[in-house]
Amino acid sequence: MFIVENYPVAILLCTITMLCWGSWGNTQKLAAKSWRYELFYWDYVAGIVLVALILGFTLGSFGGQGRSFIEDLAQVDSTNFRSAFTGGVIFNAANILLSAAVALAGMSVAFTVGVGLALVIGVFVNYFATPKGDPSALFIGVALVVAAIIINGIASGRVSKSSDQDRSAKKGLMLAIMAGVLMSFFYRFVAAAMDLDNFVSPTPGMATPYSAFFIFALGILASNFIFNTLVMKKPFAGAPVNYKQYLTGGFNTHMVGILGGVIWGTGTLFSYIAAGKAGAAISYALGQGAPMIAALWGIFIWKEFKGGPGSNNALLTIMIVLFLSGLGVIVYAGL
């Protein structure tokens, strides 16, 4: 299987993770023109499971190092299976809330607040579980990201909205905060199922990134029948939707959702692969630089800050600089 041998390659994979995590929301925005996010989300989950299988049977099976995907999956013990599966359940609950926040408040706000908060809490959770890297530099980098999140919130609050839009944005902001708190814990459960010190010959019963990610995807799929069904019947906004409506969706509409899951899933597996060399905290932190990517999409493509004062441009510039600085310091923490 493919295994990262050095820190620069691990950082490259983490950068791809950041791009994937910050960009999949575009598929939801595209689908939203004719498709509720609750329906989109079924295809998104299907995309995650699909990419878990594809990458497991390719990157996870080719090469002369380590066990093959099926061999590794078969030997995972019940404790580590439950850990990775639980990570999928926690992530799914968080991501459904985040998807609702995107629908109500936009990508730039939902991602920056939700995923940014997940970054802050998650770095502490992952670092203290498996310390790796310079803690001072790591936490300074996180502090810079927090400053960027606060500035994003200030800029968003200065955008003129109708009363209905303002209520939706506030509801979306609350959902993003809830999503961020939940999302900060999922990565640790999956990382705990893996032997991060040795992907070539991991401890018997423990998983490699490929089998751990597949089990994680199963946790997402299984819990989706509970979480998303509930949200379909009791949506955060709008009328209830049903499975009959999902079945009426066109091929292109379904493919957009699947693409979103493939994008996110690819980035997530790359993050787990990189964690063996960079450490769980640094790998997670770099991937969670995604809010900057999402904010750029929201600013330049979706025009989510249109209608704000001219001074907002300065605030958004400062936000981006702080995010980049924070990510740079986090990379330095692992050198």
Confidence of residue 163 (pLDDT cuts 50, 70, 90): low
Question: Residue 176 has which token pair?
Answer: 């993003």
Residues forming beta bridges with residue 127, ordered by sequence position: none
Whole-number pLDDT of residue 208? 94
3-state SS track over the chain: CCCCCCHHHHHHHHHHHHHHHHHCHHHHHHHCCCCCHHHHHHHHHHHHHHHHHHHHHCCCCCCCCCCCHHHHHHHCCHHHHHHHHHHHHHHHHHHHHHHHHHHHHCHHHHHHHHHHHHHHHHHHHHHHHCCCCCHHHHHHHHHHHHHHHHHHHHHHHCCCCCHHHHHHHHHHHHHHHHHHHHHHHHHHHHHHCECCCCCCCCCCCCECHHHHHHHHHHHHHHHHHHHHHHHHHCCCCCCCCCHHHHHCCCHHHHHHHHHHHHHHHHHHHHHHHHHHHHCHHHHHHHHCCHHHHHHHHHHHCCCCCCCCCCCHHHHHHHHHHHHHHHHHHHHHHCC
What's the CA gap between 111 and 162, in Å, rounded? 22
Question: Residue 305 has which token pair?
Answer: 């800050």
* Domain boundaries of the chain, sorted by first residue: 7-333
The answer to whether residue 82 scores a pLDDT higher than 80 is yes
Confidence of residue 162 (pLDDT cuts 50, 70, 90): low
What's the CA gap between 239 and 199, in Å, rounded? 48
Closest by CA to 92, choosing from 249, 265, 284, 235, is: 265
CA atoms within 13 A on the CB side of 98: 29
What's the CA gap between 43 and 45, in Å, rounded? 5
**Mean pLDDT lowest for which of 45-59, 151-165, 174-188?**
151-165
The CA distances from residue 188 to 91, 112, 157, 280, in Å, are 11, 21, 33, 8
Residues forming beta bridges with residue 207, ordered by sequence position: 194
Confidence of residue 75 (pLDDT cuts 50, 70, 90): very high
Confidence of residue 161 (pLDDT cuts 50, 70, 90): low
Query: What type of residue is 328?
Result: G
The answer to whether residue 11 scores a pLDDT higher than 70 is yes
260-278 core/surface letters (b: 16 or more CB in 10 A; e: else): bbbbbbbbbbbbbbbbbbb
Where is pLDDT greater, at 301 or 93? 93
Q: Give residue-wise pLDDT tens across range 113-151.
A: 887 788 888 888 888 888 878 999 988 988 898 888 788
Question: Residue 266 has which token pair?
Answer: 């690819």
**How big is the CA angle at 18 (ends 178 and 192), to the nearest 5 degrees?**
65
Cβ neighbours of residue 174 closer than 8 Å, sequence gap 6 or more: none
Mean pLDDT of the chain: 89
Q: Give residue-wise pLDDT tens across range 297-310.
A: 877 877 777 777 87
What's the CA gap between 29 and 52, in Å, rounded? 24
Contact 309, 154 (CB under 8 A): no
What's the CA gap between 206 and 40, in Å, rounded? 34
Closest by CA to 213, choosing from 259, 255, 275, is: 275
Q: Give residue-wise pLDDT tens across range 182-233.
A: 999 999 999 999 998 889 889 999 999 999 999 999 999 999 999 999 999 9
